[in-house]
């Protein structure tokens, strides 16, 4: 008898271990949830970690106000199913009450505005640990980040001053006001996520699968038209068969042309693809090579 685990089962076990460790050692954890595939997998892993109990912490969504409606619908339905409490940090509310300013330009990205709203939600709710769905394969700066990523009073990450992390012994000691960002799926790759979604038959928002959508080509990406998207002079909207590889703000997340209308086809596409998911579909990360690193230092996800 060979006692071996498949790579998905081993990754799953590691993630469950991390969820349980945090629930044991922190007073007020929360799970950051965007409605994207990574956070959906995180939610499933959290269910697995605490079954047959309910997930013992709330879910936090930093809502830019520029979401795909399909994703918000999915979020509400899924959270009701697992019985998790939702806390929303709203960027729109803060713009409306004047405490945040929309960036200039025709179709401003609200990516930068998420950080202050996130930090405010953390303070208001006194969260001491926040689960995030970031993966180390996503991006160079993430490759060095710990599973338990220490944040100071300002939510900042200091890449040069990280705690050593050994075996599966995580150090969650903090002072009041500080917190830890916890990344239970650090060791998963994009392909692992998709394979897991297939193996577990996890439902995801339908915009991940091929569909017809009105888009406009902008900076080499296909951006969905809609209420938040103002067309510039000369831009022409047209209908294309597309799907999304990542989900963020409607205004900056690019769709890719694709016929992959089920999970097997999506996996085949991901396995054969030649461009990283962020490079392909996130205008926010393409600004500069060090863009992500800079944003993380300031307290971004």
Partner 1 sequence: MAEILRFATAGSVDDGKSTLIGRLLYDTKTIFQDQMDAVEKASENLGSEGPNLALLTDGLRAEREQGITIDVAYRYFATPKRKFIIADTPGHIQYTRNMVTGASTADLAIVLLDARKGVVEQSKRHAFLASLLRIPHLVLAVNKMDLVDYSEEQFNKVADEFREFATRLDISDLTFIPVSALMGDNVVDRSEHMEWYDGPTLLTHLEQVHIASDRNMIDVRFPVQYVLRPQTEEYHDFRGFAGTVAGGVMKPGDEVMVLPSGFTSRIATIETLDGPVAEAFAPMAVTVTLDDEIDISRGDMLCRPNNQPDVTQDLDAMICWMTSDAKFEPRMKLAIKHTTRTARVMVKEVNYRLDINTLHRDEESEVLELNEIGRVTLRSTQPLFIDEYRRNRTTGSFILIDEHTNTTVGAGMILGVAE
CA distances in angstroms from 45 to 62, 240, 266, listed in the order given: 21, 34, 21
Shortest spacing between CB 100 and partner 1, in angstroms:
27
Q: In what order do the strands lie in the sheet with 59-63?
A: 86-90, 59-63, 29-32, 129-131, 179-182, 148-151
Shortest spacing between CB 19 and partner 1, in angstroms:
9
In sequence order, what are the residues at sequence separation of 6 or more whose Cβ sits closer than 8 angstroms to the Cβ of residue 107? 223, 228, 229, 230, 251
Question: In terms of CB distance, is 8 or 231 closer to partner 1?
Answer: 8
In the complex, the residues that contact partner 1 under the rule CB under 8 A are 2-7, 9-14, 16-17, 20-21, 23-24, 47-54, 136-137, 140-141, 143-144, 159-160, 162-169, 171, 173-175, 186-187, 189, 191-192, 273-276, 279-280, 289-290, 293
Question: In terms of CB distance, is 97 or 161 closer to partner 1?
Answer: 161
Shortest spacing between CB 106 and partner 1, in angstroms:
25
Question: In terms of CB distance, is 152 or 235 closer to partner 1?
Answer: 152
Angle at alpha carbon of residue 250, lines to 83 and 297, rounded to 5°:
80
**CA proximity to 46, closest of 30, 35, 61:** 30
Q: What is the DSSP letter of 254?
A: E
Rounded Cα distance between 179 and 119, Å, is 10
Question: In terms of CB distance, is 120 or 293 closer to partner 1?
Answer: 293
Shortest spacing between CB 64 and partner 1, in angstroms:
25
Rounded Cα distance between 138 and 192, Å, is 12
Question: In terms of CB distance, is 24 or 212 closer to partner 1?
Answer: 24
Question: In terms of CB distance, is 94 or 297 closer to partner 1?
Answer: 297
Shortest spacing between CB 236 and partner 1, in angstroms:
26
Rounded Cα distance between 71 and 53, Å, is 26
Shortest spacing between CB 244 and partner 1, in angstroms:
17
Shortest spacing between CB 20 and partner 1, in angstroms:
4
DSSP string, 194-251: HHHHHHTT----GGGS-EEEEEEEETTEEEE-BTTBPPPTT--EEEEEEEESS---TT
Question: In terms of CB distance, is 51 or 101 closer to partner 1?
Answer: 51
| Contact assessment for residue 49 and residue 21, using Cβ atoms and an 8 Å cutoff | no
Question: In terms of CB distance, is 4 or 233 closer to partner 1?
Answer: 4
Q: What is the DSSP letter of 4?
A: -
Shortest spacing between CB 120 and partner 1, in angstroms:
24
**CA proximity to 32, closest of 158, 154, 119:** 119
């Amino acid at each position: 008898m060979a006692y071996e685990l498949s790579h998905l089962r081993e990754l799953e076990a590691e993630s469950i271990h991390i969820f349980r460790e945090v629930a044991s050692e922190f007073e007020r954890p929360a799970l950051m949830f965007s409605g994207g595939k990574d956070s959906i997998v995180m939610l499933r892993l959290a269910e697995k970690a605490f079954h047959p109990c309910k997930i013992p912490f709330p879910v936090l969504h930093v809502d830019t106000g520029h979401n795909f409606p399909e994703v918000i619908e999915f979020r509400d339905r899924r959270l009701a199913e697992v019985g998790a409490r939702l806390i929303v940090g709203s960027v729109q509310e803060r713009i409306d009450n004047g405490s945040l300013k929309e960036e200039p330009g025709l179709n401003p990205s609200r990516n930068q505005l998420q950080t202050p709203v996130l930090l405010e939600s953390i303070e208001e709710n006194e969260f001491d640990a926040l689960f995030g769905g970031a993966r180390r394969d996503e991006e160079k700066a993430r490759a060095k980040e710990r599973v338990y990523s220490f944040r100071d009073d300002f939510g900042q990450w200091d890449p040069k001053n990280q705690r050593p992390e050994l075996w599966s012994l995580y150090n969650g000691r903090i002072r009041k006001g500080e917190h830890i960002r916890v990344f239970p799926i650090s060791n998963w790759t994009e392909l692992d996520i998709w394979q897991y979604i297939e193996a577990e038959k996890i439902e995801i928002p339908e915009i991940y699968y091929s569909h017809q959508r009105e888009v406009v080509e902008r900076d080499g990406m296909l951006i969905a038209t809609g209420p938040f998207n103002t067309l510039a002079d000369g831009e022409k909207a047209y209908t294309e068969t597309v799907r999304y590889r990542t989900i963020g703000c409607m205004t900056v997340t690019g769709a890719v042309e694709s016929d992959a209308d089920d999970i097997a086809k999506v996996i085949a596409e991901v396995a054969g693809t030649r461009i990283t998911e962020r490079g392909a579909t996130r205008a926010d990360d393409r600004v500069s090579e060090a863009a992500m690193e800079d944003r993380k230092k300031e307290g971004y996800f």
